[in-house]
Amino acid sequence: MARKKHKDQHKEQRDALTLVFVGHVDHGKSTILGRLLAETNSLHDGVLERVRQTCDGKNIPFEYAYLLDALQEEQDQGITIDITTLRFATAKRDYTIIDAPGHKQFLKNMVSGASRADAAVLVIDAEEGVREQTMKHAYLLHLLGIPAVNVAVNKMDLVNYDAERFKELEHAITSYLSKLGINLLRCIPVSGKEGANITARSAKLAWFSGPTLLAAIDELPSPTPLTTRPLRIPVQDIYKFDEHRVVAGRVEAGTLRAGDAVIFLPSGEQTIVRRLLAWPHAPVASARAGEPVTLELADEFLLRRGEVIVHPGQEPSISTTLTATLFWMGRDDLVQGKEYTLKLATEAVTCRIAAIHSITDSTTLERDVKRSVVKKHEVARVTIKANHPFCFDSFKDSPTTGRFVIVDDGIVAGGGIIERGAQELQSRPFVVTKAGLAPKRHLVTREERAKRYGHEGMVLWVTGLPGSGKGEIARRLERLLFDKKKNAYYLDAATVRLSLSSDLDFSEEARHEQARRVAEVANTLLHAGLIVIVNIVSPYRADREAARSLIGSRQFTEIFIDTPPERCMKRDPHGAYTRKGTVLPGRDFTYEKGTKALHVPIPPKPDYDVLAETILRNLGLD
Amino acid sequence: MDRLDRLEAESIYALREAYRHFTSLAMLWSMGKDSTVMLWLAKKAFNGHVPFPVVHIDTSFKFPEMYAFRDRLAKAWGLNLLIGRNEAALKKGVSYATHDALTVCHELKTVALQQFMKEKQFAGLILAIRADEEGSRSKERVFSKRNADFEWDYTDQPPELWDQFNTDVKKGEHVRIHPILHWTEVDVWEYVKRENIPCVPLYFAKNGKRYRSLGCQPITHPIRSDADTVDKIIAELRATKTAEREGRGQDKEDRYALQKLRAKGYM
């Protein structure tokens, strides 16, 4: 909701940066911050006064950390429990400062704070040196994708401001961070307690030629906006408060302009964005990454939260399977094979951890591959498989749509960043587009074809158990439609197995891939203007939903031929049930019934001609 | 995007998530600047509408100007205004004249809210608290769960990252949604100015005094100020070194007063 007119009145366009302070417990993050705020005059009188009273009451010297650690438990125990947000400003820009707890128990609070940051200051105790949480926090900064890090070596007073000790620590942390690929911008010696080199230089650190901590913070680069990346607008909700239905969302990446042609994925619905509403103002011309949008579309079709609006030719991955680096914060272990909910932007899918490739010790960076569970505070490289295909990017290409959380028992328990969709042929069933292969527009339109043929193209997806009689019905549908002067074509999945899918067996993975290939062939024939009658077992609901998404729900009809399993086995027209070693739905695993299918119950002595005619009548094709 | 744009976008996102996830949802409105700005943000999020009830927990001790503002805006903005009062306590005569501020606040605000929530069974409650107001509020999440007894377990909050909020509730629990948690006092006034949002006249100086924070009349005190326009208020706040809630009596009873009130369900 850009507001150009109003922005002009807004004289001070100050730069803003969100900065998180992390590090091992008791290394003095809150003390440095308290000092920073006090020395930059950023505190209210009441706050300083209250902390002075608290400290007098406890008979201790003024404790800068109390300025931040406001909870009674935090002050009594002398540790930060949860994040604190503060503001201060320099001549250069406005800062939002997040103080994250360093105690191991509160790592999830540290992650919550750091996930909102543009840059970080990692605090290390000069006496204690690099400790477990120092490295864990550094590792998490890397996972959270925070590009810019400064290190403050604190408590220099405890080591007599010794230059050698500082250099030793600088070397240790630099080598650790560089292994992670973190760009360490500055390493600065300070004393929070004595106020040395926080905002003003100190004679005791005369040997140090670098800047003060405050000056180093001002040097941190501002975050680069995602406005020039490919457009990603996850659908957040659909409203109909007024006459028009509108789509609500936020531009996660890229820029959208009124009049743009867009695609909704995974459904594949195409439309034009008619207007970008901006109550109380007139509609705006465009919206950029970070801005909320309220969109009016040119066409009406079924809309679902979690679909992603993109520009044609810039599609994300659409798949059930992805590989990611995951950090776990759950109360219970992450268990391979167990069901979780994955939430990415506005999408939520049921998923399982298909494989745990490695578990990394964040302090030694050593990998341990022998386990099938991930424990609290561990980082693992995993492959995740969802129950239905959804949109995502790699974190590198599009950070806001390349990260997700895992929800366990209703609570966010882990966060992950996506490396890529799975590469193995059979486990990447629904990858739609690759850059440079954007479809070219035909010179013959769909409308022209429909006019000549006298009907639109469509797909009748006839599904059911082996031996259910679906082939009998499907072939009759082709005959009946042809006789009615329609361009109908019977596509038997079994035939596809002899040609296009000759490399596939009857495993679960291969069945997914087979359904995907048949759906692609049917889709091509549909574009040629045909009524395609597909005969395919397709026992998994996700595969049929994926076919529906690919083909478009308006052109796709699922027809479920419902014959009891015992009767299918008795009929067994192709000898499928007698072949040794085959795993069949209805007998060895459950056929997943769909909710959107036209349901055709088959009586004990079926008349397939009558059944086929009834189906056509139900579909309005008679 | 400048800072106000970023804050506005964050708030709208949280409001839309709340509306999406909770069919029984309400917003608390105290008529103060913060919750009035939040109402305005809701109108922006929902294309000019406020598609859930707006609740005033009424202690009966507010300023007359606040009641007038409430009724005027409710009408002008077409709000579905609901009022919650602890009638039993009011009948018993609980008041600032007879009781200490913490007791009155607990009875007429926390208990009134508990009674109201019990009756209406809202699973989501939107509040206009800000992290910079006070220590325990700075520890909040944007979506923060309260148990059936209204308690807030601030020692063990689930993580909240990348705008993935914890929205699951069991029966009797509710989630507090804090869309303007990351705004500061100056942000609120700069936004009031930019968007031209109406405010209770008590905020503007008269005879050298104005109210910086509004609560119950008997325990809310004005500050010395000549700021009689939004611009002057912004200039005053940029220069000030006193805390916003200095004029609020209930905070002063005990060093951890607000933390204790809030752990029991106070706003």
The H-or-E segment that residue A491 falls in is strand A488-492
State whether the Cα torsion A567-A569-A572-A574 is positive or negative: positive
Whether B161 sits inside 8 A of A111 (CB atoms) is yes
Q: Which residue has the higher pLDDT, A309 or A241?
A: A309
Q: Is B16 on the interface with A (CB under 8 A)?
A: yes
Between strands A292-297 and B143-146, the pairing is unpaired
Whether A246 sits inside 8 A of B47 (CB atoms) is yes
Q: Which residue has the higher pLDDT, B78 or A64?
A: B78
Residues B227-250 have a mean pLDDT of 80
CA-CA distances (angstroms) from residue A534 to A104, A554, B89, B191? Answer: 57, 16, 71, 58
Token pair for A35: 């000092």
Q: Name the residue among A307, A407, A401 with its Cα closest to residue B166.
A: A407
Measured CA to CA, the distance from residue B154 to residue B214 in angstroms comes to 26
Using CA atoms of A18, A24, A25, A29 in order, give the dihedral in degrees to the nearest 10: -40
Between strands A308-310 and A261-265, the pairing is antiparallel
Which residue, among B7, B47, B141, would best test binding to A if mutated, counting the most A CBs under 10 Å from its CB? Answer: B47
Whether A292 sits inside 8 A of B46 (CB atoms) is no
Whether A112 sits inside 8 A of B141 (CB atoms) is yes
Quote the pLDDT of residue A363. Answer: 67
Average pLDDT, chain B: 87
Average pLDDT, chain A: 85
Is residue A582 a contact partner of residue A485, using CB atoms and an 8 Å limit? no
Nearest to B161 among A84, A96, A115 (CB): A115
Quote the pLDDT of residue B256. Answer: 63
Quickly state the pLDDT bin for B250 (edges 50, 70, 90). Answer: low
Q: Which residue has the higher pLDDT, B241 or A282?
A: A282
Q: Is B5 on the interface with A (CB under 8 A)?
A: yes
Distance from CA of A349 to the nearest CA of B (A): 14
Residue B263 has pLDDT above 80, yes or no: no
Q: According to DSSP H, which parts of A310-414 are helical?
A: none
Residues A142-159 have a mean pLDDT of 89
Residue A532 has pLDDT above 90, yes or no: yes
Q: Which residue has the higher pLDDT, A434 or A504?
A: A504
Contacts of A442 (CB under 8 A, 6+ apart): none
Whether B9 sits inside 8 A of A290 (CB atoms) is yes
Measured CA to CA, the distance from residue A84 to residue B137 in angstroms comes to 9
Residues A592-601 have a mean pLDDT of 89
Contacts of A444 (CB under 8 A, 6+ apart): none
Burial of A148: CB neighbours in 10 Å, binned 0-12, 13-18, 19+: buried
Residues A185-201 have a mean pLDDT of 91
Quote the pLDDT of residue A476. Answer: 96
Quote the pLDDT of residue A75. Answer: 56
Q: Is B21 on the interface with A (CB under 8 A)?
A: no
* % of chain A beyond a pLDDT of 90: 44
Q: Is B98 on the interface with A (CB under 8 A)?
A: no
- The CA radius of gyration of chain B, in Å to the nearest whole number, is 18
Residue A431 has pLDDT above 50, yes or no: no
Distance from CA of B24 to the nearest CA of A (A): 16
Highest mean pLDDT among A62-76, A84-98, A317-331: A317-331
Residues B25-49 have a mean pLDDT of 96
Highest mean pLDDT among A360-369, A601-610, B216-225: A601-610
Distance from CA of B3 to the nearest CA of A (A): 7
Q: Is B119 on the interface with A (CB under 8 A)?
A: no
Burial of A13: CB neighbours in 10 Å, binned 0-12, 13-18, 19+: exposed
Residue B224 φ then ψ, to 5°: -70, 125
Residues A582-595 have a mean pLDDT of 87
Nearest to B158 among A277, A288, A412 (CB): A412
Whether A82 sits inside 8 A of B16 (CB atoms) is no
Measured CA to CA, the distance from residue B215 to residue B36 in angstroms comes to 14
Whether A279 sits inside 8 A of B242 (CB atoms) is no
A112 is catalytic: no
Token pair for A393: 């990017």
Quickly state the pLDDT bin for A84 (edges 50, 70, 90). Answer: low
Quickly state the pLDDT bin for A574 (edges 50, 70, 90). Answer: confident
- Residues constituting chain A: 622
Whether B3 sits inside 8 A of A16 (CB atoms) is yes
Give me the residues paired with residue A183 across strands.
Answer: A148
Which residue, among A11, A83, A327, would best test binding to B if mutated, counting the most B CBs under 10 Å from its CB? Answer: A83
Q: Is B77 on the interface with A (CB under 8 A)?
A: no
Q: Name the residue among A386, A434, A427, A432 with its Cα closest to residue A406.
A: A386
Residue A434 has pLDDT above 70, yes or no: no
Q: Which residues of B touch A246 (CB under 8 A)?
A: 47
Quote the pLDDT of residue A114. Answer: 82
Structural domains in chain A plus CATH codes? 13-219 (3.40.50.300), 233-310 (2.40.30.10), 317-424 (2.40.30.10), 446-618 (3.40.50.300)
Residue in B with minimal Cα distance to A224: B1
Q: Is B166 on the interface with A (CB under 8 A)?
A: yes
- Interface list for B 123-162 with A (CB within 8 A): 131-132, 134-136, 138-139, 141, 154-155, 157-162
Quickly state the pLDDT bin for A461 (edges 50, 70, 90). Answer: very high
Instruction: Quick: pLDDT tens for A29-67.
Output: 888 888 888 888 777 666 667 777 777 777 776 666 666
Q: Which residues of A touch B159 (CB under 8 A)?
A: 108-109, 111-112, 329, 412-413, 415
Whether A290 sits inside 8 A of B1 (CB atoms) is yes
Measured CA to CA, the distance from residue A620 to residue A174 in angstroms comes to 71
Quote the pLDDT of residue A437. Answer: 52
Structural domains in chain B plus CATH codes? 3-184+254-263 (3.40.50.620), 201-252 (no CATH)
Which residue, among B163, B180, B258, would best test binding to A if mutated, counting the most A CBs under 10 Å from its CB? Answer: B163
Residues A497-525 have a mean pLDDT of 89
Residue in B with minimal Cα distance to A238: B20
Is residue B25 a contact partner of residue B19, using CB atoms and an 8 Å limit? yes
The H-or-E segment that residue A544 falls in is helix A541-551
Q: Which residues of A251-281 are buried (b: 16+ CB within 10 A; e: fewer)?
A: bbbbbbebebebbbbbbbbebebbbbbbeee
Backbone dihedral region for residue A157 (phi beyond 0: left; psi -120 to 50: alpha; all else: beta): alpha
Quickly state the pLDDT bin for A76 (edges 50, 70, 90). Answer: low
Distance from CA of A53 to the nearest CA of B (A): 9
Quote the pLDDT of residue B245. Answer: 65
Residue in B with minimal Cα distance to A329: B159
Measured CA to CA, the distance from residue A323 to residue A325 in angstroms comes to 7
Distance from CA of B49 to the nearest CA of A (A): 8
Residue in B with minimal Cα distance to A74: B155
Residues A407-427 have a mean pLDDT of 73
Distance from CA of A544 to the nearest CA of B (A): 28
Q: Is B213 on the interface with A (CB under 8 A)?
A: no
Least confident of A269-278, A360-369, A490-499, A519-528: A360-369
Q: According to DSSP H, which parts of B22-123 are helical?
A: 33-45, 64-76, 87-92, 101-105, 112-120
Q: Is B13 on the interface with A (CB under 8 A)?
A: yes
Residue A501 has pLDDT above 70, yes or no: yes
Measured CA to CA, the distance from residue A8 to residue A5 in angstroms comes to 6
Token pair for A137: 């926090």
Measured CA to CA, the distance from residue A233 to residue A346 in angstroms comes to 10
Whether B16 sits inside 8 A of A236 (CB atoms) is yes
Residue in A with minimal Cα distance to B5: A291
What is the residue type of A99? Answer: D
Q: According to DSSP H, which parts of A245-360 are helical?
A: none
- Interface list for B 24-53 with A (CB within 8 A): 43-49, 51
Token pair for A109: 């609070």
Instruction: Quick: pLDDT tens for B79-135.
Output: 999 999 998 888 888 888 888 888 888 889 989 998 898 899 899 999 999 887 766
Least confident of A77-81, A434-438, A515-519, B240-244: A434-438
Residue A424 has pLDDT above 70, yes or no: no
Which residue, among B16, B23, B190, B223, would best test binding to A if mutated, counting the most A CBs under 10 Å from its CB? Answer: B16
Q: Name the residue among A546, A540, A549 with its Cα closest to residue A585.
A: A540
Is residue B212 a contact partner of residue B243, using CB atoms and an 8 Å limit? no
Is residue A151 a contact partner of residue A184, using CB atoms and an 8 Å limit? yes
Give me the residues paired with residue A411 across strands.
Answer: A408
Whether A70 sits inside 8 A of B139 (CB atoms) is yes
Instruction: Quick: pLDDT tens for A97-139.
Output: 877 765 555 677 778 878 888 899 999 999 988 888 888 888 8
Whether A44 sits inside 8 A of B6 (CB atoms) is no
Nearest to A82 among B3, B5, B154 (CB): B154
State whether the Cα torsion B82-B84-B87-B88 is positive or negative: positive
Least confident of A44-48, A335-339, A362-366, B215-219: A44-48
Quote the pLDDT of residue B248. Answer: 64
Quickly state the pLDDT bin for A569 (edges 50, 70, 90). Answer: very high
User: Is the omega angle on the peptide bond into residue A266 within 30 degrees of 0, that is, cis?
Assistant: yes
Quote the pLDDT of residue A197. Answer: 94
The H-or-E segment that residue A459 falls in is strand A458-463
What is the predicted ipTM?
0.90
Measured CA to CA, the distance from residue A21 to residue A50 in angstroms comes to 24
Quote the pLDDT of residue A103. Answer: 58
Which residue, among B8, B44, B164, would best test binding to A if mutated, counting the most A CBs under 10 Å from its CB? Answer: B164
Q: Which residues of B touch A14 (CB under 8 A)?
A: 2-3
Q: Name the residue among A276, A343, A261, A342 with its Cα closest to residue A309.
A: A261
Q: Name the residue among B47, B4, B51, B55 with its Cα closest to residue B31.
A: B55
Contacts 24+ apart (CB under 8 A), B88-92: B90/B60
Quote the pLDDT of residue A102. Answer: 57
Instruction: Count the Cβ atoms, other than its own, within 10 Å of residue B11.
Output: 27
Whether B9 sits inside 8 A of A96 (CB atoms) is no
Q: Is B6 on the interface with A (CB under 8 A)?
A: yes
Catalytic residue chosen out of the listed positions A319, A362, A468, A538: A538
State whether the Cα torsion B205-B208-B213-B216 is positive or negative: negative
Contacts 24+ apart (CB under 8 A), A68-72: A68/A30, A68/A33, A68/A34, A68/A99, A69/A30, A70/B134, A70/B135, A70/B136, A70/B138, A70/B139, A70/B259, A71/B135, A71/B136, A71/B139, A71/B154, A71/B256, A71/B259, A72/B255, A72/B256, A72/B259
Residue A426 has pLDDT above 60, yes or no: no
What is chain A's percent helix, strand, coil content, to nearest 5?
A: 30, 30, 40
* % of chain B beyond a pLDDT of 90: 49
What are the E-state strand segments in A145-278?
148-154, 183-189, 233-239, 246-250, 255-257, 261-265, 269-278
Give me the residues paired with residue A478 across strands.
Answer: none
Is residue A85 a contact partner of residue A97, using CB atoms and an 8 Å limit? yes
Is residue A259 a contact partner of residue A272, using CB atoms and an 8 Å limit? yes
